[in-house]
């Protein structure tokens, strides 16, 4: 292979990328995620941990208290999160519908020492972000009142439960988990997935547009054509990864071991790109090749995630500065896989090229 011919193919593909709106939109989407990562962290963490929203709110919410006087009324009055108004149920619900209130709490006239349970009704606006925050804040009030009820009704307990001793739970940091466990690996490896799909399009379009005859007639060989497309897709990886890391640093996110992260991401990203090129050469039809590649990629990801020292985990550990010497054996394994795939691609491209010449 000649470097001059490879550079011609790479330049040609980069010029063609400017006309690929899908690829540009995908890159802009990643740019948006990286640029506004601190803002998106609040919304995405609330999807799996709604209680994380509560700590970002310092607003006093207006709630209506309806029904019998109880300890809940005292807890609400003592809380810094609520302004409490004593109201009747009908006007309180009407005010809630008009968004003049954040919630309505109805307490029945059941005595604390009664035999039946105390059934408290909470009215909020359905599918509302403010309601999610209010629910989290009211949870502490209800738990405190529940503890009071248990104390009042303690005399009814005839059997003592078996005490269980658990180690104290450690409260996780949502920002830490989101940024280092999800955001950084997602941004750094998303370009690899896009480049893998792109290399399939670049190779299969030569068959669909019937441009192979023209290519074979030129000094550029079929193998050089394939490797030029692979190199063009691989160059996109460090460029995008560098942009994402810079934007994350602008957001005030500290990232350790940046050179090691670049090396790991570049080598790891080459693996799906090579697989995509092999699939495209074998099937030669874009839709079918993309389907086969996507299926194989899901299986490969499930297998990789089952390994503790997988690239996603290693990127997280490198970013926080907790990676040990195991990063080098992991990198060596990924490099070996990439080398094997590169040899297979070179041999397969060479054989395919000979078939076209003889055909």
CATH number of the domain at 144, please. 3.40.190
Are 229 and 199 within 8 A, CB to CB?
yes
pLDDT at 216: 62
Pair (204, 353) in one structural domain: yes
Of residues 4 and 39, more confidently modeled: 4
Q: Is the pLDDT of residue 94 over 90?
A: yes
For range 25-50, the mean pLDDT: 58
Pair (17, 106) in one structural domain: no
Pair (204, 259) in one structural domain: yes
Matching residue, tokens 């896989």: 337
Backbone angles phi, psi at 83, to 5 degrees: -110, 120
Q: Is the pLDDT of residue 145 over 60?
A: yes
pLDDT at 20: 59
- Cα separation, 62 vs 124, in Å, equals 12
Tell me the HSE value of 39 on the side-chain side, using a 13 A CA sphere: 5
- Choosing from 153, 187, 211, the residue where a domain stops is 153
pLDDT at 236: 83
Q: Is the pLDDT of residue 66 over 90?
A: yes
Tell me how many domains the chain contains: 2
Pair (182, 108) in one structural domain: no
Pair (147, 215) in one structural domain: no
Matching residue, tokens 């691989």: 234
Pair (148, 177) in one structural domain: no
- Choosing from 88, 122, 153, the residue where a domain stops is 153
Pair (311, 354) in one structural domain: yes
Pair (207, 316) in one structural domain: yes
The answer to the question of residue 166 being in a domain is no
The answer to the question of residue 219 being in a domain is yes
Q: Domain limits at 83?
A: 50-153
The answer to the question of residue 137 being in a domain is yes
Pair (189, 103) in one structural domain: no
pLDDT at 85: 93
The answer to the question of residue 85 being in a domain is yes
The answer to the question of residue 45 being in a domain is no
Share of the chain above pLDDT 70, in %: 80
The answer to the question of residue 162 being in a domain is no
Pair (31, 82) in one structural domain: no
- Cα separation, 235 vs 233, in Å, equals 5
Pair (145, 275) in one structural domain: no
Pairing of strands 121-123, 103-107: antiparallel
Matching residue, tokens 């480049």: 195
The answer to the question of residue 18 being in a domain is yes
Q: Look at 23-32, 134-143, 340-349 and tell me which has the smallest mean pLDDT.
A: 23-32
């Amino acid at each position: 292979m000649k470097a001059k011919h490879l550079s011609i193919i790479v330049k040609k593909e980069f010029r063609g990328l400017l006309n690929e709106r899908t690829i540009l939109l995908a890159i802009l989407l990643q740019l948006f995620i990286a640029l506004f990562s601190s803002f998106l962290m609040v919304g995405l963490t609330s999807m799996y941990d709604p209680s994380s929203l509560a700590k970002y709110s310092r607003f006093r919410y207006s709630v209506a208290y309806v029904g019998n006087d109880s300890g809940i009324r005292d807890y609400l009055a003592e809380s810094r999160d609520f302004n409490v108004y004593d109201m009747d149920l009908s006007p309180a619900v009407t005010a809630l519908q008009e968004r003049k209130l954040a919630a309505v709490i109805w307490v029945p006239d059941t005595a604390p020492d009664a035999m039946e349970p105390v059934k408290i009704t909470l009215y909020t606006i359905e599918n509302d972000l403010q309601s999610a925050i209010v629910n989290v804040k009211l949870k502490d009030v209800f738990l405190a009142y529940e503890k009071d009820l248990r104390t009042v009704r303690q005399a009814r307990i005839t059997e003592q439960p078996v005490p269980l001793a658990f180690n104290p739970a450690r409260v996780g940091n949502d920002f830490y988990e989101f940024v280092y466990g999800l955001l950084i690996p997602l941004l750094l490896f998303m370009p690899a997935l896009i480049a893998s799909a792109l290399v399939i399009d670049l190779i299969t379009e030569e068959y669909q547009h019937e441009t192979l005859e023209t290519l074979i007639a030129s000094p550029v060989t079929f193998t050089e054509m394939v490797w030029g497309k692979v190199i063009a897709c691989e160059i996109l990886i460090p460029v995008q990864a560098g942009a994402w890391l810079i934007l994350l640093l602008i957001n005030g996110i500290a990232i350790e071991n940046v050179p090691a992260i670049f090396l790991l991401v570049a080598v790891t990203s080459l693996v799906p790109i090579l697989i995509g090129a092999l699939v495209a050469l074998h099937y030669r039809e874009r839709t079918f090749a993309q389907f086969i590649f996507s299926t194989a990629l899901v299986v490969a990801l499930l297998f990789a995630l089952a390994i503790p020292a997988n690239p996603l985990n290693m990127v997280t550990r490198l970013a926080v500065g907790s990676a040990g010497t195991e990063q080098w054996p992991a990198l060596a394994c990924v490099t070996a896989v990439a080398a094997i795939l590169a040899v297979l691609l070179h041999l397969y491209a060479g054989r395919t090229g000979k078939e076209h010449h003889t055909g």
